[in-house]
Chains A and B, each alone.
Chain A
């Protein structure tokens, strides 16, 4: 057992505050990017609308209900056509626009490079605010990492032995996963969401769950703490990403439906966000990884429970909720393979699953009596 180093603990808290501050600036930059890019995209859309049907350009300022010529079948407007046509479905799903629509959308839309497309790969155009935001997020993550490491040194063990540590470390993993995904995919449109959630996690940790550095109670002194909880943190971080994507998916699909029905596009900032279908596909892939992680969390938890309490499953409140989360996400995976349950319903399942994760961490830890209670505050 390593000795406690309180000075390191104080450094850690300072780093956490600095990280939260940096993230806040990054959050503003991400929001600025959303606003600026969507204005640029709107301008492009309007121009395209004017080009395709000049006669309707008079009211294009309000909405863009352009007949859009050949593309009319799949998507009623140019605005939707750009996203809808450009993207494309998952292999094996029927709603796949023909390649001709895609080509046309690219030709008329022109701004395809700016928005994250179906594959969410990076486009050619530079988005200065987004670059600033990502740079700030990296800086914040570096400070955050220092906070997590000093916390670990201060307490002489893995930094996830209580709720404060779980939240701060979990928030770091969420940012790290987001940044790692950013290397390959342009998910910068998710920035406000992810960084916003991370700020909330850090603030909640510092305000509601603050705990000084300390030793672990004997029940937590096991290598299973390292295995079981680290996988739980990682899975939760992934679920955080998919929660953000599913929430955006719901908004986007609502927007797409409104536009397709000829309604006004009141959610202009969503232009930067890929189509609902692309969001659904990517969040499905991330959820699949997270589900495997959660299965391991459940299993390793059961193995640890057998070691510590003598039974691998006893319907302890925490076990119940871990099981509920597992079942909800299992339902989500099945929903994706069930007709009538894809799209919006699946997104709701993903959101419900994440709410269960949050509930499991906050309410169950604090207000439900159970064997996991000691891991709390």
Chain B
């Protein structure tokens, strides 16, 4: 880490911090530079390091890194990102052959795990730690030390005022200071009274919580980052499609797709099971603009914590995940799965069951691919569309007129030959590669395409077999997630907000009061207030303290003495409203 910091920062002091931060990613340069710097006699490596550290932890650098982080995050929204959509990225590179590869080499498809993005936020967090730690130490000392000494000239402070206690009140200067000290203590100030001869005074301070809030906020951000890292290391996620009646068992083979974290162990998976009993959709039949849009998805499921555990009925909905075995299960997709039976040329059932149809367009217009590797003598393949409510335009184009099963229809082309599945190479189940296949049915052939309604059967030409459309089931897509860093991320985020609110709305203030005895017996009081950082309510506080002192000594609010304010016009002092 120090090496990295050094490499970016060991440059002549004239350079502005702007020139440093982004040039971090070259380790060779770093090494060279580190060697070169080691030979420098004057400051020495230690001095240089210290200088670099001071630069990195300076506010200007932090601010610059922060703004750089905002800029660096933007490309991730402009270009497709691999973690979210790997296939879109592949397609994007194909579609833009001229610059697609260049963008890839700049890691613009993996922005948030790229070297440059990581460099920025790691530097930012190092800078943050380098800022927080010394401030925490300094603040701890400040909290334990006495309020600062009373300045010689209080009238120079932004808020300053005087009060005059008449001689007949009989309050000597030392008592007046004690009175003021008691009042300020009650108001939450830490007070130190100084009986310095003729002119006793007090120093008071409050609002230490402001800096605490500030430190908590920044430390919590580190906590959030660590939690995210823990989630990435030990978490996992996966997807599975479940047709009505299907059961998912939480083992590696149970997933259609699985994304383990870096440190994932398969022993982490608890073998729970979840069965999809029924899936219902409610469609909008009221509003005109959105007629036929789904407005409710409800999946009835049966879950078992373990193979031997009792079965439990649960409901899975969008926004209402089911939690099971340390994971959460989310309803993320759905569609229709036509149930078909395919018989081969020998009359044997080569395939029977639901086929997941992939959504393509409006009203559940979906594509269907059926691969029948077990068909003999030739393997069979089908590709086409499923329409829940089939309509045909005058031009002969089929479309789905409604999302519900009013007039379900399967229209397919058929092929025979070698599906290529026997070679063991993985294939996309939603795509049929017809390169090595011979078409049997297609719109442009004399045999035409196959059009099936539920319950109907079509016999393939050339005695290759038959296909029956038995019925339609629904399927759901579920995402399964386990993120061990999630709860701590939430806790740290809440802490951060609490710290933020405290640091913005608690004010650190200092008050000094000095008293003295006038020759004619009156007790003269002067006070001054100073805020650390911005404090627009300092004038209000000054007026409030003035009021308290006046009441304590029974003074007339309009009596002698001045409530002068150096910081804002008198009109803004609204103690009652502002507090």
Contact = CB atoms under 8 A, between A and B. Distances in A.
Interface string B305-346: 000000000000111110000001010100000000000000
Interface string A318-340: 00110110011011001111111
B77 A328 contact: no
A115 to B, nearest CB: 12
Nearest to A98: B566
A375 interface: no
B60 A92 contact: no
Interface in A286-331: 288, 291-292, 295-296, 299, 302-304, 306-317, 320-321, 323-324, 327-328, 330-331
Given A212-B288, A214-B290, A215-B284, A88 B332 contact: no
Interface residues of B, number: 72
B369 to A, nearest CB: 25
From B228, B237, B497, B534, residue with most partner A Cβ within 10 Å? B534
A171 B524 CA distance: 55
A111 B479 CA distance: 67
Given A299-B493, A320-B74, A315 B83 contact: yes
A327 B66 contact: yes
Contact of A218 (B287, B297, B481, B532): B297
A212 B63 contact: no
B561 interface: no
A96 B532 CA distance: 16
Contact of B569 (A88, A311, A327, A337): A88
Given A221-B319, A314-B84, A338-B60, A90 B534 contact: yes
Contact of A214 (B111, B284, B569, B577): B284
Interface string B62-98: 1100110110011011000101100000000000000
Interface stretch (A62-70, A116-124, A138-146, A258-266): A116-124
Nearest to B542: A91
B536 interface: yes
Interface in B290-304: 290, 293-297
Contacts, number: 189
Contacts of B489: 312
B81 A117 contact: no
B316 to A, nearest CB: 12
27 contacts: A1-B295, A6-B288, A88-B569, A90-B534, A90-B535, A91-B158, A91-B535, A93-B534, A99-B564, A119-B572, A184-B577, A212-B288, A218-B296, A219-B319, A221-B295, A224-B319, A281-B536, A295-B497, A299-B493, A310-B328, A314-B84, A320-B77, A323-B70, A324-B74, A328-B70, A338-B63, A341-B60
B531 A91 contact: yes
Interface in A214-239: 214-219, 221-222, 224
A102 B494 CA distance: 44
Interface residues of A, number: 77
Interface of A: 1, 3-4, 6, 86-93, 96, 98-99, 102, 117-119, 121, 184, 211-219, 221-222, 224, 281, 284-285, 288, 291-292, 295-296, 299, 302-304, 306-317, 320-321, 323-324, 327-328, 330-331, 334-341, 349, 364, 368, 370
Contacts of B289: 211-212, 214
Contacts of A4: 286-287
Given A218-B296, A327-B66, A331-B67, A292 B504 contact: yes
